[in-house]
């Protein structure tokens, strides 16, 4: 077996020959399945679960291929492969998703085996990016870099990725199953809006322990997950997750796809009875078979490349001087960076949401440029965020201004991270067969309306989330301002929810009143924000003012005559 440890990719697991063998077999298997479909040996009904297990959806106008980016981490070589696919098989662009994946919206069925083969060359795939199985495990976008992190969750994210890959028992669950993992006390993964959310921290003997949340989710029935277990020892992580998913597989509803997620089972049984079932399964298991031995964890950890964080002693002073010299750069540093654990470094967030743009869309040329910038500034490492942006995790402070110049020149330097322009939107009726309304135009209009960076910064932290239907792919329930597209007698209307949050202060947004016509929605939100600016006290953010005053104070603004 080849070990090829010469150059390990920074921040993610390095495939070896066995992993590559697996991927090439998987591509061959899908090629054979596509051939059976094209020959008519498989009906569309039978082919559907097979293509979904390989990330291939049938959308409104074409097939969509969703490529897995495990825990949001990829290398510059992988980003270049995505650029190649965008150019060769799609319309010159791709789209970053809220599950930290990348999707292509204009794919032909007969091309997909070749696309998967191209991806396999850079150790990428589309396995389990859809279907009723365990989906891509998501992770903190500042993992392994953030100053506030207690431990790097990516090692365990990789262990869960491997464990869940073609899991023999859990590939035909009642419904999809999403796991997120964080190693920071500041929840940036929406742990309590996942089927399973894991929050890791150091425990006894330096080994991690996990708080396990279960039964959270958005969709048609938004529910905040409950804590099923605290201080789960690392060695029991897989056994305990097996127990949870077994209980779900056995008892989750299969008669109604809208009531099939684990959150519905947890609500129906009640958390105590659900926990009893999980504990009973856990007690019966031969735990030695599932024991996550420290040696196994350390073996996986050894396959991760570590960045050599060497910076000049005056890197921080150089950045401070650069900021004083250039107010526009200073603004971008305020909004688009995150503190790094090493004082000579900083995490830079590349906004993929230009003023008036489509959230998450990236052209092939931009992908190539991001790859080049990652090579030049961040050890070739790229992170896709659940906010549909990109993070370069380890940028030397004295070189940050050079990076910013390159980003600005490419239209990737918009200073709007966490602000009103940093909108999450689902693909909506422009692409999706399920949608009732177009999400993208609302996002574009809002983004253009609030383009002024000074205004955005004055408004402060404000998450706007837009979903084109009640399936809530734009996570509108979790937005400070949520926008839900609904159909009223063939017309597109938008319903506003206020007060949602996906972080430590997790909350589900509340509907403020009747849905608004498309052409009144943006004005209503502008009045809402104006009202907040008048009502805010001190350094309150929108969510603080809303929580202090409640919805009533904003209702008049939303429904005032135009």
Partner 1 sequence: MPLLENGHIVDDAWVTVAGDDPIPATGAVIVPFARLEEGLARAGDAPLGVAIGPDVDVALLRPALPRLGLVAVTFTSFRDGRAFTQARALREHLSFTGEIRATGTPLPDQYEFMLRCGITTVQTERPEAVSVWQQAHEIISVAYQPSILHERVQGLGFRRFVS
Where along the sequence are the contacts to partner 1 (CB under 8 A)?
A: 1, 16, 18-19, 21-22, 25-26, 28-29, 32-33, 36, 41, 46, 49-50, 132, 159, 162-173, 238, 246, 249-250, 254, 284-286, 289-290, 296, 299-300, 303
Q: Closest approach of Cβ 189 to partner 1, in Å?
A: 22
Q: Which of 229, 144, 143 is nearest to 188 (CA)?
A: 143
Q: Residue 5 or 317: which CB sits closer to partner 1?
A: 5
Q: Residue 1 or 534: which CB sits closer to partner 1?
A: 1
Sheet holding 226-233: strands in order across?
Answer: 138-139, 179-182, 196-202, 208-214, 226-233
Q: Residue 250 or 533: which CB sits closer to partner 1?
A: 250
The Cα 328–Cα 326 span in angstroms is 6
Q: Closest approach of Cβ 344 to partner 1, in Å?
A: 33
Q: Closest approach of Cβ 235 to partner 1, in Å?
A: 13
Q: Residue 37 or 95: which CB sits closer to partner 1?
A: 37
546 token code pair: 């809303």
The Cα 102–Cα 84 span in angstroms is 13
The Cα 281–Cα 243 span in angstroms is 6
Q: Residue 294 or 376: which CB sits closer to partner 1?
A: 294
Q: Closest approach of Cβ 174 to partner 1, in Å?
A: 8
Q: Residue 172 or 258: which CB sits closer to partner 1?
A: 172
Q: Closest approach of Cβ 68 to partner 1, in Å?
A: 14
Q: Closest approach of Cβ 336 to partner 1, in Å?
A: 36
Q: Closest approach of Cβ 431 to partner 1, in Å?
A: 25
What distances in angstroms separate CA 254 from CA 150, 198, 248, 276, one per listed residue? 39, 26, 11, 22
What distances in angstroms separate CA 373 from CA 358, 382, 467, one per listed residue? 22, 9, 32
Which H helix or E strand runs over 75? Answer: strand 73-75
Report helix, strand or coil for 488: strand
The Cα 106–Cα 112 span in angstroms is 11
Q: Which of 78, 159, 60, 154 is nearest to 121 (CA)?
A: 78
Q: Closest approach of Cβ 13 to partner 1, in Å?
A: 9
Q: Closest approach of Cβ 292 to partner 1, in Å?
A: 9
Q: Residue 16 or 330: which CB sits closer to partner 1?
A: 16
The Cα 492–Cα 439 span in angstroms is 10
Q: Residue 19 or 487: which CB sits closer to partner 1?
A: 19
42 token code pair: 């498989």
Q: Residue 166 or 306: which CB sits closer to partner 1?
A: 166
Backbone angles phi, psi at 544, to 5 degrees: -65, -45
Q: Residue 286 or 537: which CB sits closer to partner 1?
A: 286
Backbone angles phi, psi at 300, to 5 degrees: -70, -40
Q: Which residues contact 558 (CB under 8 A, 6 or more apart)?
A: 496, 512, 513, 516, 524, 525, 527, 528
Q: Which of 110, 19, 122, 13 is nearest to 65 (CA)?
A: 110
Q: Residue 169 or 491: which CB sits closer to partner 1?
A: 169
Q: Residue 253 or 341: which CB sits closer to partner 1?
A: 253
The Cα 79–Cα 33 span in angstroms is 27
Q: Closest approach of Cβ 374 to partner 1, in Å?
A: 26
Which H helix or E strand runs over 35? Answer: helix 17-38
What are the strands, taking DSSP E only, across 102-184? 102-107, 138-139, 179-182
Burial 147-160 (b: 16+ CB within 10 A, else e): eebebbbbbbbbbb
Q: Closest approach of Cβ 277 to partner 1, in Å?
A: 11
Q: Residue 168 or 206: which CB sits closer to partner 1?
A: 168
Ramachandran assignment for 337, one of left (phi > 0), alpha (psi -120 to 50 degrees), beta (any other): beta
What are the strands, taking DSSP E only, across 215-316? 226-233
Q: Closest approach of Cβ 203 to partner 1, in Å?
A: 21
Q: Closest approach of Cβ 57 to partner 1, in Å?
A: 16
DSSP code for 199: E
């Amino acid at each position: 077996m080849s070990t090829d440890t010469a150059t390990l990719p920074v921040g993610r697991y390095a495939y070896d020959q066995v992993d590559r063998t697996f991927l090439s077999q998987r591509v061959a298997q899908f090629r054979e399945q596509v051939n059976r479909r094209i020959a008519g040996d498989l009906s569309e009904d039978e082919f559907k679960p097979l293509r979904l297990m390989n990330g291939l959806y049938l959308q409104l106008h074409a097939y969509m291929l969703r490529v897995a980016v495990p825990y949001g981490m990829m290398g510059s070589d992988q980003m270049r492969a995505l650029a190649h696919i965008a150019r060769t098989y799609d319309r010159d662009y791709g789209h970053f998703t809220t599950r930290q994946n990348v999707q292509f919206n204009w794919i032909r069925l007969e091309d997909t085996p070749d696309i998967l083969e191209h991806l396999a060359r850079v150790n990428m795939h589309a396995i389990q990016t859809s279907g009723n199985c365990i989906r891509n495990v998501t992770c903190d976008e500042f993992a392994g870099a953030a100053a506030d992190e207690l431990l790097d969750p990516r090692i365990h994210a990789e262990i869960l990725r491997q464990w869940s890959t073609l899991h023999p028992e859990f590939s035909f669950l009642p419904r999809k199953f999403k796991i997120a993992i964080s190693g920071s006390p500041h929840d940036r993964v929406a742990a309590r809006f996942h089927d399973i959310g894991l929050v890791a921290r150091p425990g006894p003997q330096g080994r991690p322990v996990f708080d396990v949340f279960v039964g959270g989710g958005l969709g048609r029935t938004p529910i905040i997950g409950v804590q099923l277990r605290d201080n789960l020892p690392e060695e029991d992580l897989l056994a305990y997750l097996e127990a949870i998913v077994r209980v779900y597989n056995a008892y989750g509803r299969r008669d109604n796809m809208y009531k099939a997620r684990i959150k519905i089972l947890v609500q129906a049984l009640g958390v105590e009875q659900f926990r009893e079932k999980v504990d009973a399964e856990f007690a019966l298991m031969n735990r030695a078979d599932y024991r996550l031995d420290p040696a196994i964890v350390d073996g996986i950890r050894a396959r991760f490349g570590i960045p050599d964080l060497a910076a000049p002693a005056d890197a921080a002073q150089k950045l401070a001087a650069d900021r004083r010299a250039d107010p526009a750069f200073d603004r971008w540093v305020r909004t688009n960076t995150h503190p790094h654990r090493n004082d000579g470094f900083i995490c830079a967030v590349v906004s993929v949401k230009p003023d008036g743009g489509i959230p998450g869309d990236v052209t092939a040329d931009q992908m190539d440029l991001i790859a080049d910038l990652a090579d030049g500034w961040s050890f070739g490492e790229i992170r896709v965020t659940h906010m549909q942006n990109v993070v370069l995790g380890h940028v030397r402070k004295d070189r940050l201004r050079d990076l910013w110049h390159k980003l600005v020149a490419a239209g990737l330097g918009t200073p709007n991270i966490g602000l009103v322009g940093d909108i999450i939107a689902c693909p909506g009726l422009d692409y999706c067969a399920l949608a009732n309304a177009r999400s993208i135009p609302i996002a574009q209009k809002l983004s253009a309306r609030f383009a002024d960076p000074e205004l955005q910064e004055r408004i402060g932290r404000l998450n706007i989330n837009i979903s084109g239907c009640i399936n809530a792919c734009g996570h509108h329930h979790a937005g400070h301002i949520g926008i839900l597209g609904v159909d009223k007698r063939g017309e597109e209307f938008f319903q506003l929810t206020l007060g949602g949050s996906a972080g430590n202060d997790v909350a589900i947004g509340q509907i403020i009143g009747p849905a608004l016509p498309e052409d009144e929605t943006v004005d209503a939100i502008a009045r809402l924000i104006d009202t907040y600016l008048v009502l805010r006290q001190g350094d309150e953010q929108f969510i603080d003012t809303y929580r202090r005053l409640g919805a009533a104070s904003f209702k008049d603004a939303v429904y005032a005559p135009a």
